[in-house]
Structure 1
Amino acid sequence: MKHATILVPHVQTANSTIACIVGAYQLFTGANDYWQKRGENPLFKIETAGVANESAFINGLLTIKPQVNIASLKKTDLILIPSLTPEFQLALDGNIKLIDWIREQYQNGAEVASMCTGAFMLASSGLLDKRSCSIHWNSADRFRSLFPNVQLKTEKLITDENGIYTNGGGYSFLNLLLYLVEKYYDRETAIYCSKTFQVEIDRQTQSAFAIFTGQKSHGDEVVKKAQEYIEANFHEKISVADLSKRFAVGRRNFDRRFIKATGNTPLEYLQRVKIESAKKAFETTRKTVNEVMYEVGYSDEKAFREVFRKITGLSPLTYRNKYNKEAVPSAYEGEIPRNR
């Protein structure tokens, strides 16, 4: 029988920490129960583990007593790290011991999965250096500034690289758990858990959920002014060459500084600002796809659809119909129907 460890952090926790712990325990227990119904032995022994006798959450409202202390847990096969506070800066107190233990267990053959902002703890171990990682879109800027050597992939719902798994934000940790159930158990068990816990299976992206807010805490005043100009004038025709001239910076130097400060090229930033405005229009108005397209500064339908899908993972019409219950589906608004 394999061993799965669900970590119980003692400090730097969030309200979502307990949801991750309980959700992971319940879903893996459900997978074990299903295997037993099929006449097979449970695949995992599932235990919660920490560095203290008990840990309090949600301002003391709830308390969890870890089943084992990591000091007595010499070998495990899978480590599940719950979410932490999004204000994470440096690992503190007991979390340092957890990080050292994670690193040691991985070197001894264990696989490690972080849920949402649990990626802060995983990255602090150094195991994510030069590897892919996903995290809640709202924590991406902080994460990027703390761990510049990690290849952040905020559009991805799940990353899987060399026995290290991460996932995006919020309750999408349930999708990561289903992914792990399918990998360790089988597809049939994952489908059973998907239906039992009513979690959509095979989700690949979190792009549609992201709200773009440009990173402005970088300290480069020229780039900050350029960002503000883009955000105020995105509906007009703006070229990167014009921007660099406006702020008296050479084109190549302007691009370099902009990417370093924001994580985006100037063109990507402009596109994201335009698409974020389009998303809000689709969510809150009854405007057609073409009306919104022109409003945010696009005149080419194909270009608008391609950029919108690249950023959100959905077509403009699909996005509008998904998030605006008053929108009336139309086969011709801004999109060319496919032949059937």
Structure 2
Amino acid sequence: MKHVTILVPDVQTANSTIACIVGAYQVFTGANAYWQEQGKAPLFTIETAGVAEESTFINGLLTFKPQVNIASLQRTDLILIPSITPAFEQAVQGNVLLIDWLRQQYKNGAEVASMCTGAFILASSGLLEKRSCSIHWNSANHFRALFPDIQLKTEKLITDERGIYTNGGGYSFLNLLLYLVEKYYDRETAIYCSKIFQIELDRQTQSTFAIFTGQKSHSDDVVKDAQQYLEDHFHEKISVEDLSKRFAVGRRNFDRRFIKATGNTPLEYLQRIKVESAKKAFETTRKTVNEVMYEVGYSDVKAFREVFRKVTGMSPLAYRNRYNKEALPHQL
């Protein structure tokens, strides 16, 4: 029988930490139960493990007692890291012990999956080096600042590289759990868990839920000024060439500095500003897709659709119909 370990962090926890722990325990327990109903032996022994006898969550509202101490677990097959505080700065106290244990277990053959901001712990272990990673879109800028060499894929709901798994934000950790159930059990069991726990199966992206606020936690004042200019004039026709001239920086150097500071090219940044403005219009007004398109500075329907879908994973009309209950079914 395989062993799955659900980690219980001792410090830097968040309200969502307990949800990840309980959710993971429940889904894998459900998968085991389904296998038993099919006449098969349970696939996993499921245990919560930590470094302290108990951990406190939600300002003392809940106390959780791990079933085992990690020191007693010499070997496991799958490790699940729950979300932690988005304000993570560095591994401290008990979490350092968890990280050391993670490294050793992965070296021994265990696979490791982080849920939401649990990616901060995973990244601190060094196991994400030369791998891609997903995390809650709202924590992406902070993650990039702490781990600039890790390839962040915030549009992806799940990443899977050589036994290391990460996922996006919030309760999308449930989709990661279904993914792991299908990988370790089978598709039939994943479908069963999807129905029992009412989790949408096969979600691939979290782009639809992202809110773009810009990345300004950097020290390049020229880029900050350029960002502000783009945000103030996004509805106008702006060329990157003219933008670099406005701030007296050569085009190639301007692009390089902009990407280093924000994670986006100037054009990508402008597109995301336009799309964010369009999203708000679709959510709060009864304007047609054409009306919103012109307001945010597009005149070509095909180009607007392609950029909007690239950023959100949905067409403008589909987004409008999903998030604005009062919108009439206008046709483009």
Q: Could you say which residue in structure 2 is the equivalent of 1:169?
A: 169
- Letter of the 2:207 counterpart: S
Query: Secondary structure in 1 aligned to 2:249?
Result: coil
| 1:224 counterpart residue number | 224
* Equivalent-residue separation in structure 2 for 1:59 and 1:289 (angstroms): 45
Aligned counterparts of 2:28 and 2:217: Cα–Cα separation in 1: 40
Instruction: Spell out the pairing of 1:20-99 with structure 2 (5 A cutoff).
Output: 20-99=20-99
The aligned runs of 1:1-340 (5 Å cut-off) are 1-330=1-330, 332-333=331-332
Give the distance between the partners of 2:157 and 2:147, measured in 1 at CA: 19
Partner Cα separation in structure 1 for residue 22 and residue 54 of structure 2: 15
**Unaligned runs of at least 5 residues, structure 2:** none
The 3-state SS of whatever aligns with 2:9 is coil
Q: Secondary structure at the match of 1:308?
A: helix
User: 3-state DSSP class of the match of 1:325?
Assistant: coil
Q: Report the Cα distance in structure 1 between the residues aligned to 2:217 and 2:200, rounded to whole angstroms.
A: 36
Once the two structures are TM-superposed, the CA of residue 328 in structure 1 deviates from its matched residue by 1.7
Secondary structure of the 1:305 match is: helix
- Deviations 1:173-196 (CA, angstroms, capped at 9, x unpaired): 000000000000011110010000
**Structure 1 Cα separation of the partners of residues 195 and 327 of structure 2:** 29
Amino acid at match of 1:286: R
Task: Give the Cα separation in 2 of the matches to 1:151 and 1:258.
Answer: 17
1:287 deviation in Å? 0.3
Amino acid at match of 1:49: A
Q: Distance in 2 between matches of 1:182 and 1:227?
A: 43
Residue 133 (structure 1) shift: 0.3
Q: CA deviation at 1:145?
A: 1.0
Runs of 4+ in 1 over 6 A off after TM superposition: none
Distance 2:186 2:229 in 1: 52
| CA deviation profile, 1:113-140 (whole Å, cap 9, x unmatched) | 0000000000001010110100000000
CA–CA distance in 2 between the matches of 1:13 and 1:190?
29
Deviation at 1:69, TM superposition (A): 0.3
Aligned length: 332
Which amino acid is 1:248 matched to?
A
- Give secondary structure in 1 for the equivalent of 2:90: coil
Q: Which amino acid aligns with 2:112?
A: V
Q: In the aligned structure 1, how far is the partner of 2:204 from the partner of 2:243?
A: 35
For residues 41 and 26 of structure 1, what CA distance do their matches in structure 2 show? Answer: 18
Query: Residue in 2 aligned with 1:338?
Result: none
Matching residue's letter, 1:132: S
**Root mean square deviation of aligned Cα:** 0.5
Shift of the alpha carbon at 1:329?
1.9
Q: Could you tell me which amino acid in structure 2 is paired with residue 149 of structure 1?
A: D
In structure 1, list runs of 5 or more residues that go unmatched. Answer: 334-340
| SS at structure 2 position matched to 1:287 | coil
Give the AA of the match of 1:236.
E
Structure 1 length normalisation: TM-score? 0.97
- Matched residues in 2 for 1:229 and 1:324: separation? 30
Matched residue type, 1:184: Y
Counterpart residue type for residue 50 of structure 2: G
SS of the residue 1:216 aligns to: coil
Report the TM-score when normalising by structure 2. Answer: 0.99
Please give the secondary structure, in 2, of the residue aligned with 1:40. Answer: coil
- SS of residue paired to 1:3: strand
Give the AA of the match of 2:239: S
CA distance in structure 1 between the aligned counterparts of 2:114 and 2:49, rounded to whole angstroms: 15
**Take 2:263 and 2:160, find their aligned partners in 1: how far apart are those partners?**
22
Secondary structure in structure 1 of the residue aligned to 2:128: coil
- CA–CA distance in structure 2, aligned partners of residues 285 and 327 of structure 1: 8
